[in-house]
Amino acid sequence: MKKALMVLEDGQIFKCQSFTGPGEAIGEVVFNTGMSGYQEVLTDPSYRGQLVTMTYPLIGNYGVNPEDIESDHIQVSAFLVKEYQPFHSNYRCEQSLADYLKNAGILGVDNFDTRALTRHIRTQGAMRALISTEDLNPESLLERVKKHPTMNGQDLAKVVSTESPYRWKNGQPDMRPLTLDSSVWEDRSQPCVVVLDFGIKYNILRSLANHGCHIVVVPASTTASDLQNMAPDGIFLSNGPGDPAPVKYAIQTIKDVLDYRPIFGICLGHQLLSLALGAETYKLKFGHRGINQPVRNYATNRIEITSQNHGFAVTQESLQDCNLEMTHINLNDNTVEGFRHRKLPLFAVQYHPEASPGPHDSRYLFNQFINLMNG
């Protein structure tokens, strides 16, 4: 174990120790309230550029395995836990969490007061932080962290998006070269869905495939003309990290296809779709990250427990002038969790209906998307 020190941009100091050896990380520090699913958290592209702390104290007890990844590599900048469990036990485990982080060059620390950090973020808001095992001078760390750019105004979607289009086949990306026209679909007997990748999670693609969709994933910068040349049955707007406002190229693409095919957006895709329709977004104080967020579905008046990971949201007042109807609301803070258009075949939710990790309350949304395409 190696001593480490973290300093927040407001000067707050946290002492801890590294269980992955020497290292350093800088970014926005956030917390996740899930009791499990740390491997999915680590590999979720929506966490790009963030230092993630788990509020559940014991982490690492079931190790890691290649089946539960949500992208092809770890996305977080650092992983902060109260107590790392070095002795893992699970029949699917193939590696310890410490070795998994070490191999990726990601700093993992424990003996960290995660409760105090979470309470501080809830009070003061998410903020930048720098953690290091080499520089243990608080003044030096504070000076450096204040120079680091904030998440506001950064286009992180282009950083995590795929560089080349690919088919999702047999539960994994098929990276053979594709031409973006109607010949891209090998079979049109089932709904053909083009996915705009702003930081897609693998289990979203698994969920679409499990509902009988043929899937082609395209870069975030794909134009409307390319989408129309592909002639899909529907368009899916994925999750992703950071601020939606600077992703202007995607907002323009979405504007150009609003009345072309049914659209389903989640997370960052939900925010980008709202901006394309004329609504507004803003940064939440500390975001929603976890697998236990309660959401009311206005159509059924039922409460759904949802998996979420986002730091921005859509303003409820701005929906009214955009012909949008709010369909879901967060019961913790009354933020917008979903909407649908009153005339066009499009809808979106702020959370992750594929729930990896998390509950399965919202998987019906994929059926709604299928029905729109079939209709």
Question: pLDDT (tens digit, 9 = 90+) per residue, 248-296?
Answer: 999 999 999 999 999 999 999 999 999 999 999 999 999 999 999 999 9
Kindly state whether residues 165 and 139 are assigned to the same domain: no
Question: Is 129 within the bounds of a domain?
Answer: yes
> So what's the pLDDT on residue 358?
83
**Catalytic pick among 120, 328, 341, 352:** 352
pLDDT over 90 (residue 165): yes
Kindly state whether residues 116 and 29 are assigned to the same domain: yes
> So what's the pLDDT on residue 3?
96
> Residues in the chain, how many?
375
Q: Distance (Å, rounded) from C-alpha 54 to C-alpha 56?
A: 5
pLDDT over 90 (residue 239): yes
Q: Distance (Å, rounded) from C-alpha 228 to C-alpha 6?
A: 49
Domain that holds residue 9: 2-146
Of 146, 165, 200, the residue at which a domain comes to its end is 146
Q: Helix or strand or coil: residue 369?
A: helix
Residue pLDDT, tens place only, 92-127: 999 999 999 999 999 999 999 999 999 999 999 999
Question: Is 151 within the bounds of a domain?
Answer: no
Q: Helix or strand or coil: residue 55?
A: coil
Summarize the confidence of residues 329-354 as an average pLDDT.
96
Kindly state whether residues 174 and 305 are assigned to the same domain: yes
Question: Is 221 within the bounds of a domain?
Answer: yes
Of 146, 179, 202, the residue at which a domain comes to its end is 146
Phi/psi for 219 (5° steps) reads -60, 155
> So what's the pLDDT on residue 306?
95
Kindly state whether residues 225 and 308 are assigned to the same domain: yes
> So what's the pLDDT on residue 250?
98
Kindly state whether residues 139 and 170 are assigned to the same domain: no
Question: Is 187 within the bounds of a domain?
Answer: yes
> So what's the pLDDT on residue 354?
86
Kindly state whether residues 194 and 343 are assigned to the same domain: yes
Phi/psi for 346 (5° steps) reads -145, 145
Of 124, 146, 168, the residue at which a domain comes to its end is 146
Q: Is the alpha carbon torsion for 231, 173, 48, 149 positive or negative?
A: negative
Residue pLDDT, tens place only, 304-316: 999 999 999 999 9
pLDDT over 90 (residue 356): no
Question: Is 19 within the bounds of a domain?
Answer: yes
Question: Is 152 within the bounds of a domain?
Answer: no
Kindly state whether residues 16 and 128 are assigned to the same domain: yes
Question: Is 344 within the bounds of a domain?
Answer: yes
Summarize the confidence of residues 132-141 as an average pLDDT.
94
Summarize the confidence of residues 139-158 as an average pLDDT.
92
> Is 352 one of the annotated active-site residues of the chain?
yes
- pTM here is 0.95
Percent over 90 (pLDDT), the chain: 93
pLDDT over 90 (residue 355): no
Summarize the confidence of residues 215-231 as an average pLDDT.
97
Phi/psi for 125 (5° steps) reads 100, 160
pLDDT over 90 (residue 357): no
- pLDDT band, residue 187 (cuts 50/70/90): confident
Kindly state whether residues 304 and 170 are assigned to the same domain: yes
Question: Is 277 within the bounds of a domain?
Answer: yes
CATH number for 43: 3.50.30.20
Q: Determine the residue type at 47.
A: Y
Kindly state whether residues 139 and 163 are assigned to the same domain: no
Summarize the confidence of residues 28-44 as an average pLDDT.
95
Kindly state whether residues 126 and 223 are assigned to the same domain: no
CATH number for 161: 3.40.50.880
Kindly state whether residues 273 and 189 are assigned to the same domain: yes
Yes or no: say if 310 and 350 are a contact pair by the CB < 8 Å rule: yes
**Catalytic pick among 192, 213, 267, 322:** 267
Kindly state whether residues 78 and 179 are assigned to the same domain: no
Residue of 336, 121, 158 lying closest to 243 (CA atoms): 158
Summarize the confidence of residues 154-163 as an average pLDDT.
96
> So what's the pLDDT on residue 42?
97
> So what's the pLDDT on residue 375?
82
Domain count, the chain: 2
Q: Distance (Å, rounded) from C-alpha 198 to C-alpha 86?
A: 34
> Is 354 one of the annotated active-site residues of the chain?
yes
Percent over 70 (pLDDT), the chain: 100
- pLDDT band, residue 81 (cuts 50/70/90): very high
| Mean pLDDT score across all residues of the chain | 95
